[in-house]
Amino acid sequence: MTHRRILYFVLFAATQLLQAFLFNNLTLSVWFNPLIYVAFVALLPLETPHGLVLLGGLAAGFAADWFMGGAGINTIATVFAAFVRPFLLALLFEKENIREGGIPSSERLGRWGFLRYLAVFVLLHHFVFFALEALSWARFGQTLLRVAVSGTAAVALTWLAARLFTSKLTVRV
């Protein structure tokens, strides 16, 4: 159990550092801004109490804001994603399945199930972030393009992170 906690701490630190020192400084394209720190919230164990997921989201969002110089935008998006996570899981999977707990991953939820969960979760988070950043309906198309490009990259990176992460842990409790 403590082993798992330490690994979650490592996941939190690794995603934050990658975000701050690599992805925040990318100058590849205006559309490419994957927010991979959200992987920490996405991969929290299924049995984590709702309140704790919310606090996890708060920690991840606050840290990302601090590194990015954001005035709350990452916190708003991440806490929102953390809040809807249990409802999203309930919508996509059977109740008993979720209640059994474990780490969200291909092995635990099935390849397509896991991918679907990641896609909806990450895109929701990215949508809130980029919509708040633009704060304009006039450029809604541009916002959607940002969500699509950056979100897809973030889903792929989170999927990779999950592969690495679960290779060190058993996915069932």
Partner 1 sequence: MYKLLEFIRSTYVVLLFVVIEAVAFRCYAHSSAYTEARLLARSNEVAGSVHGFFAGVKHYFELGRENRLLTARVAELQTLLSEYRSAETEARLDGYMDGNAHTQYELTTAAVVSNSINKQRNFIVLNRGLRDGVAPDMAVLSPDGAMVGYVVECSERYAVAISILNTSFRASGKIAGSDYFGSILWDGSDPYRVTMAELSKYAEPQVGDEVVSTGFSQYFPAEIPIGTIERVVLNEARTAYTVDVRLAVDVSGLGDVILVRNNDLHEVETLRASDKVKELNERP
Hey, which residues between 147 and 166 contact partner 1 (CB under 8 A)?
150
By CB under 8 A, is residue 88 in contact with partner 1? no
> What φ, ψ does residue 22 adopt, rounded to 5°?
-115, -65
Q: Which of residues 23-42 bind partner 1 (CB under 8 A)?
A: 24-33
Rg (CA), the chain: 15
Residues 19 and 37: beta-carbon distance below 8 Å: yes
Q: Name the minimum Å distance from CB 20 to partner 1.
A: 6
CA 79 from chain center: how many Å?
Answer: 11
CB atoms within 10 A of CB 83: 14
Q: Which residues within the stretch 112-141 sit at the binding site for partner 1 (CB under 8 A)?
A: 132-134, 139
The dihedral sign for the CA sequence 110, 94, 78, 14: negative
Largest CA distance in the chain: 50
Minimum distance from CB of 145 to partner 1 (Å)?
A: 9
Minimum separation from the CB atom of position 29 to partner 1 (A): 7
Pick the binder of partner 1 from 142, 144, 152, 169 (CB under 8 A).
142
Judged by CB under 8 A, which of 19, 44, 70, 159 binds partner 1? 70
Of 1 and 28, the one with the shorter C-beta distance to partner 1 is 28
Least Cα distance to 120 among 23, 37, 42 occurs for: 42
Nearer of residues 68 and 120 to partner 1, judged by Cβ: 68
Among 79, 89, 109, 122, binds partner 1 (CB under 8 A): 79
* Cα atoms found within 13 Å of the Cα of residue 82, Cβ hemisphere only: 27
Binding site for partner 1 (CB under 8 A): 20-22, 24-33, 50-51, 54, 58, 61, 65-73, 75-76, 79-80, 83, 132-134, 139, 142, 150
